[in-house]
């Protein structure tokens, strides 16, 4: 009889440990996954609200441009001289820090290869290859 009660006590103890582990998993997921994601979302929303006209920004798709105006939740970006596009305010990923020397304009140091013009390309016919 004593061996049966000993086995029952051991199985009850392991059940409590298993229950504790199953309760610990959601708590760990909250602190490792959910809480950091919410913090990043709050930081991104705060950044998107602080963007002003004239700021240089980068969108989530990698476009760089200067903010020229807002129309509700739409931001107007000037991506080139006299070229403006509309993007959702939520698509603004970060502000480009021009004071730190970071810029969206690439530096041309003369090492780039010559660009191919349309006149330089020779188009051959598929029938010429058979001859």
The phi, psi pair for 41, rounded to 5°, reads: -65, -40
Its domain, for residue 44, covers 1-50
Helix (H, G, I), strand (E, B) or coil at 23: helix
Helix (H, G, I), strand (E, B) or coil at 81: coil
Token duo for residue 10: 């051991």
pLDDT of 7: 46
Does the residue 4 lie in any domain?
yes
CATH number at residue 96: 2.30.30
Is residue 53 within 8 Å of 69, Cβ to Cβ?
Answer: yes
pLDDT tens digits for range 53-81: 999 999 999 999 999 999 999 999 999 99
Report the predicted TM-score, pTM, of the whole model to 2 decimal places: 0.55
CA distance 106 to 127: 42
pLDDT of 99: 72
Same structural domain, 97 and 60? yes
Does the residue 92 lie in any domain?
yes
pLDDT tens digits for range 107-121: 555 554 455 455 555
Counted domains in the chain: 2
Does the residue 5 lie in any domain?
yes
Domain boundary among 33, 50, 67: 50
Bridge partners of residue 88, in order along the sequence: 74
Bridge partners of residue 70, in order along the sequence: 75
């Amino acid at each position: 009889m004593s061996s049966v009660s000993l086995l029952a006590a051991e199985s009850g103890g392991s059940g409590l440990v298993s229950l504790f582990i199953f309760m610990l998993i959601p708590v760990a997921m909250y602190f490792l996954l959910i809480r950091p994601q919410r913090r990043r979302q709050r930081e991104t929303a705060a950044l998107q609200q602080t963007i002003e006209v004239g700021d240089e920004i980068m969108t989530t798709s990698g476009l760089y441009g200067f903010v020229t105006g807002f129309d509700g939740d739409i931001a107007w970006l000037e991506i080139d001289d006299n070229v403006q596009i509309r993007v959702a305010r939520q698509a603004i990923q970060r502000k480009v820090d021009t004071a730190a020397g970071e810029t969206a304009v690439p530096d041309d140091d003369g090492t780039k290869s010559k660009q191919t013009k349309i006149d330089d390309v020779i188009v051959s016919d598929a029938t010429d290859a058979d001859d």
